[in-house]
Structure 1
Amino acid sequence: MNIQIHSVRFDADKKLLNFVSGKVKKLLQYSDDIIGAEVFLRLDKAQDADNKITEIKLDIPRSPLFARKQNKTFEEATNHAVDALKKQITKQKEKIRGV
């Protein structure tokens, strides 16, 4: 799986990039059809503490999946986005199987 990580309005350190990459790679356990992933780590202009945004787009042949989560840290936002994608993958598999 090809993973592209983009940091917007800041420079992400290697530790954060490795964390995000590891979490996204774990999605392969739920679907072998994932071709690639594009991740955007953004800093929101808002002054509140929840200004870290993680957006993940998965390239899957039938229909791409997308999740966007906002939280206090990029790690928390990434965890929530990955959890949302796990649910989407499960729903997509059920729909395909006709369950």
Structure 2
Amino acid sequence: MNVQIQTVHFDADQKLLEHVQKRLDKLKTFHDKITGVEVYLRLENLSQKVRDKVAEIKVSVPKRSLFAKHESKGFEESFDQAYDSLVAQIKKSKEKMFA
């Protein structure tokens, strides 16, 4: 499984990167044929005052790609919400495969 983590408009600290990597390692338990994962963490400016933290995750499995995006006031929260959404998509996709 090829994992790419990109940060846009900021430099991520080691704690955040470890949190993301730890959660991504668990994806293998939901689907054993994941070929790649792309994570984008970025700051989004709205009206030049509020800076929301946006997490986007794209997971590639044979014959399809799954995508989730979430934004909140913290990167961990944004990533965890997007991750939970992706896990649900993976489970649903796997059910359809075997149905």
Shorter-chain TM-score above 0.5? yes
TM-score when scaled to structure 1?
0.92
> For each residue in 1:8-51, what CA deviation from the matched residue of structure 2 results, as whole angstroms up to 9, or x when unmatched?
000111111111111111111100011111100010002336x0
Residue ranges of structure 1 left out of the alignment (5+ in a row): none
Letter paired with 1:16: L
Unaligned runs of 5+ in 2: none
1:8-87 correspondence runs (5 A)? 8-46=8-46, 47-48=49-50, 51-87=52-88
Q: How many residues align?
A: 97
Alignment partners' CA distance in 2, 1:44 and 1:66: 19
SS at match of 1:11: coil
Aligned to 1:88: 89
CA RMSD of aligned residues (A): 1.1
Q: What is the rounded CA distance, in whole Å, between the counterparts of 2:33 and 2:87 in structure 1? A: 13
Please give the secondary structure, in 2, of the residue aligned with 1:33: coil
Secondary structure of 2:70's aligned partner: strand
TM-score (norm 2): 0.92
% identity of equivalent residues: 45
- Aligned to 2:39, the other structure's residue is in SS state strand
Name 1:4's counterpart in structure 2: 4
Q: Which runs of 4+ in 1 moved over 6 A?
A: none
